[in-house]
Homo-oligomer: A and B are copies of this chain.
Amino acid sequence: MSQPGTTSISLNDLAQAIGVKLYGQGNISITGVNNLEGAKPGDLAYLAHHRFLEQAKQSQVSALLVSKPYDELTIPQLISDNPQFDFIQLSNRFFPIPLPSRGVAQAISKGENVRIGSDVSIGPFVTLGHRNTIGDRVTIYPGVCLGNDVSIGEDSIVYPHVAILDRCEIGARVVIHAGTVIGSDGFGYIQHKGVNHKVPHRGNVRIEDDVEIGANVTIDRATFGCTLIKRGTKIDNLVQIAHNVTIGDNSIVVAQVGIAGSTTIGQQVMIGGKAGLVDHLTVGDHARIAAGASVLRNVEKGTTVGGGIPALPAEAALKRQILIDRLPEIRQELTELEKRVQAIEGKPRKTKTRKTKIS
């Protein structure tokens, strides 16, 4: 996946760029980044754990980021406190994935009073509404549709077929993957004589800086006010975020999670894949919710919530799970105990029809 030949930088320079110590020979050329399995000569990789040492020895990789020097390795090493983090830093800085060429395609539709910053890339078949503000160095892939009064902060990337509807605000360095919808109406109806009447949704969605949003995600606009995703939060594919939800800074929301209306999530929260949170909950900072959990009650700050239905604190969830798994044993012990009691009673009892026997 590296693109040999396009970039070449000495290992010495890489070490210096991130201020790490070099172990071995530094005057070699690094031409790409890769994992151990796919690495070719010229590639830099990292050693995630010493159990991959054997794989590293077999690899064609030219240099490695490691947490401590390995004498067993004949290739040069960069000694880093966080090899994976430094690998990302070097990858992004010296071997970046090329963005589309800059410039605005001919075949776009543009409303009135649109402000487009410098060094922007806008692909074909993009619709910009009235009064859009597009920051410097923004990349808008083909087929994106922006409503009226939409703003996108600098260096953001919007992939194909994303729709950002009227009045939504996107911060800087935000990445939105293909097919995602931001600002669809919330799902609210008032029943009147057996008919569902739509609650108008006049609020918007605000995505703060450094947020990343996966593909085919849906984030509904607020009834009034704003559905808010705060700085640095990362959202995976096919997630549903309902009207008036707030998610705090630097949280992680894994694929296919659903968060119902007006629920408020704290900062640095981790929500596992497919978890569901009902409406009007509060989830405290640093909480961790297991994949698949059905969260029906508030979650305290710092709590880990286990799987199963309904979601429980992790320890209680595990206990419940173990007991459920051992129900056959409980059933059998109860049956045996009944026999013993019967023996003590010394008389035959009318046996009830036992429906529970299954083994």
Contact = CB atoms under 8 A, between A and B. Distances in A.
Nearest to A124: B109
B190 A84 contact: yes
Interface string A62-104: 0000000000000000000010110011011000010000000
Interface residues of A, number: 115
Contacts of A321: 309-310
A278 B258 contact: no
Interface stretch (A11-19, A113-121, A331-339): A331-339
Max chain B Cβ within 10 angstroms of own Cβ: one of A214, A237, A278, A326:
A237
A216 B216 contact: yes
Contact of A356 (B38, B238, B330): B330
A340 interface: yes
A202 B44 CA distance: 14
Given A197-B88, A200-B88, A35 B323 contact: no
A198 B218 contact: no
A258 B256 contact: yes
Interface stretch (A23-31, A49-57, A141-149): A141-149
B327 A323 contact: yes
Interface stretch (A131-139, A220-228, A297-305): A220-228
Dominant SS at the A interface? loop
A20 to B, nearest CB: 14
The quantity of this chain's copies bound in the complex is 3
Contacts of A165: 159-160, 178
Interface string A32-49: 011101100000000000
A282 to B, nearest CB: 17
A203 B137 CA distance: 25
A278 B291 CA distance: 8
Contacts of A163: 143, 159-161, 178-179, 215
A344 B346 CA distance: 11
Interface string A234-258: 1011101010000000101011101
Interface in A240-296: 240, 242, 250, 252, 254-256, 258, 260, 268, 273-274, 276, 278, 291-292, 294
A131 to B, nearest CB: 13
Contacts of A337: 334, 337-338, 341
B326 A356 contact: yes
Contacts of A142: 109, 127, 145
Interface of A: 1-2, 33-35, 37-38, 82, 84-85, 88-89, 91-92, 97, 105, 107, 109, 123-125, 127, 141-143, 145, 159-161, 163, 165, 175, 177-181, 184-185, 187, 189-190, 192, 194-200, 202-204, 212, 214-218, 220, 223-225, 232, 234, 236-238, 240, 242, 250, 252, 254-256, 258, 260, 268, 273-274, 276, 278, 291-292, 294, 307-310, 312, 319-331, 333-334, 337-338, 340-341, 344-345, 355-356, 358-359
